[in-house]
Amino acid sequence: LKGEGCREEAATYCRNWIADTLQSAERGAFVNLISVRVFEALGLDTTPLVQAREEYKRIQEQKRREQKEKEAEERRVQEEQHQRLLNEQKQKFLDGERITGEMFLEITGRDGFDIHIRTKGTFNRHVRGIDRNGTVSSRKIKGCRTPDFTGCHKAVSAYLAFITEKEGK
């Protein structure tokens, strides 16, 4: 508090603190607990400050609830879009068109069909596309051997058998 301007500013702040605190409480701003305790120590009425604190907390809780609801709605919409995409990709696969290996894994996982973990790795790492006939288009990674795709072929034929059995029930 060196300098004359700083002292006067601090003195003005202290003189106007009670009025400023009450005004900020009326505006709906958050009131610190220390301000409530200072009002109690000075023997002033703390009711407006406590009410302002409670109102602020209630408003913040309502905002949090609305935000959670909004996020839940967004997640639900995204999940619906993802399920729609999986349905479209599954129909493409069943119609004989090519889909990606990752999509095939997601579709089989959703339908409850288990694929061996090593075959899943081959699908994820090497398979670019696969169709109903078991035709695999793959990517060759430099320095790595070309994997054996028999597990992928078996997974496709077993999945098609699984689907026909499931639809038959």
pLDDT exceeds cutoff 80 at 122:
yes
pLDDT value for 109: 92
Q: What is the pTM of this model?
A: 0.65
pLDDT value for 68: 98
Domain boundaries, the chain: 4-74, 96-168
pLDDT exceeds cutoff 70 at 4:
no
What mean pLDDT comes out for the span 106-129?
Answer: 90
Query: What's the farthest any 2 CA atoms get from each other in the chain?
Result: 92
Per-residue pLDDT tens digits for 134-155: 888 887 788 888 888 889 999 9
What mean pLDDT comes out for the span 65-93?
Answer: 96
Torsion of CA 67, 69, 70, 73, to 10 degrees: 160
pLDDT value for 138: 85
Lowest mean pLDDT among 60-64, 76-80, 165-169: 165-169
What mean pLDDT comes out for the span 80-89?
Answer: 95
- Residue 127's CB is within 10 A of a number of other CB atoms, namely 21
pLDDT value for 3: 63
CA distances from 134 to 38, 46, 98, 155 (A): 78, 77, 10, 9
pLDDT value for 44: 85
